[in-house]
Every structure is written in C-alpha cells, then in structure tokens.
Amino acid sequence: MKKKETQEKPLAYLDHNILDLFTEPKCLLSKESELFQFLKNEVQAVYSPTTLEEIYRSVINGKSSVYGLAFLDVLKELNAHFITLITENGEVTNTIFRSWEEPLIHFNQFVENNYLNKFVHPLRNNLFAIFGGIKDFNKLENEQIDNLNNLLIFLESSLNFLESCEDKDEYILSEIEKYKVEIPKLRMQQKEFESFVQLSVQHLEDANKEQAAHKKFRDSLKVDLNHLKKIEFPNVLVQIWKMLQKNNTELVNFELDDFFN
C-alpha cells in the first residue's frame, strides 16, 4: 500500500475505553471537545487488532451494531491508522504493519477471519496466566490440548478441500504435497505436545500459588515501581536495563538485547 503524504506526529494508541468517551448513546465528550481535537490534530491515533476485537465483542455481548459502528466512526474521524505486528513463517517479528485504509475495511476483514480466533484464544491464556488471570488450570490444560486437535482437524479438512478443487495452480499443488507430509508429522507429535502442555501448565500453576507470576518475577529482579515511574524519555529501555543490572549482580555480564529477547 502506498504511504500517503502525512506529517509525522507522535503515535497515540487508543483502546476501547478511550473510544467509549466519544460514542453514542452515552457520549461523555463530543467530537468538538478539546480532547478529541487534540487527538485529531496533535497526535497520530492508531488502533490494533485488539481494538477491533473489543468492538466486535461489545456487539456480540448485547450492544447494537450501531454502537459498534459508532466506534469505527470515531476512528475514521480521527484518521486513525491500523497497526499490527507482522508474522513471518509463523513467528511474530518486531516489524509493524501500518495501514491507512478506513477502519470499517479492517473491521470487516477481522470479522471474516474471526473463525481463526478460536485457535489463538487458548494460546493467549498462557499470557493471562502469567498475570494472574487464570484460576482454573485444569481447564487451561484441556483447552491447550483440545486446541491442537481442533487445529489439526481444521488443517486436514482444508487439505481435503484443496484436493477436491478441480482448478489447482502450481502453488496450490505444492502446498497440498507439503501438508500431506506435515500434518501426519504433527499427528505423531500430539502425545509429546500434550506432555509439554501438562508440564507447562503445572509450572504456571506453581508460579501463581503465592502471588501472580509477573509480580513474583518482578520481585525476584528487585524492580522498584517508584523508580520505574520516574524514568523519562529518551532511552527508556536502556535506563531500565541499567537499573536491573545495578540491583542484580548476576546480570552484569548480560547484554540488553539478550535479556529482553
């Protein structure tokens, strides 16, 4: 997509709570308000797939479609840009994709591909567990195991569909041959995956017994929140790293990139 000629402004990520201030029917601030005009003129508003998911979830949980469209209208009025991390070969990179297309276009794409979220959601729960957001670890374990089986069923059905198509170009034929080999391999690794999930979930449960795992990790590194709050731009990450090294002698010989990666 060709980049529009725009004057670079500081990026401002807008989550569901910020957008809610400007939406009907409980609009707390108008589009003529000082805050809205500041966001429109002084910063470049951006939103992510998470924003679209929150809008979608608000609608399916009982809000009207008008309510969802109001959020998208606010993003459009702000000339907000869509951003997401690029995935290459199944792995998330540090490269950001940025789009100038209207929010409704990205929302429609999100809805069209929403069926894939059922495979992503159980994986996200691992992150929630680190932050104390999981209480039933048996359920988490079963979700992870069921998720792989459901994903394999989806791949197998997709492969069968491709094989049944009459018109197949060289690329599709090559993908069919590749996955006819790869899917059976994944099936053979299923028991190994289940064992790994059981061990991983047990570690997560143990890490959260006394307090949320992220707090335990923070305490183990002697992180002082008051000091963190005093850190100012620029070179924030470097300042945090120096603080960590000062409080943890075992990190003296580590490199910043190795630690954060």
Contacts of 147 (CB under 8 A, 6+ apart): 119, 122, 123
Roughly what angle, to the nearest 10 degrees, separates helices 190-207 and 117-130? 30
Q: What is the pLDDT along the chain (261 residues), one digit of tens a residue?
A: 444 444 578 889 987 778 888 886 667 788 888 989 999 999 999 999 888 988 888 887 777 777 788 889 999 999 999 998 887 665 667 788 889 899 999 999 888 887 777 777 787 788 888 888 888 999 999 999 998 898 899 899 989 998 998 888 888 899 899 999 999 999 999 999 999 999 999 999 998 888 888 888 888 888 888 888 888 888 888 888 998 998 998 988 888 888 877
Residue with tokens 């995956």: 193
Residue with tokens 């500081």: 10
- The answer to whether residues 20 and 53 touch, using CB atoms and an 8 Å cutoff, is no
Contacts of 10 (CB under 8 A, 6+ apart): 42, 43, 44
Instruction: Write down the pTM of the prediction.
Output: 0.54
- Look at residues 152, 150, 145 and name the one whose alpha carbon lies nearest to residue 192: 145
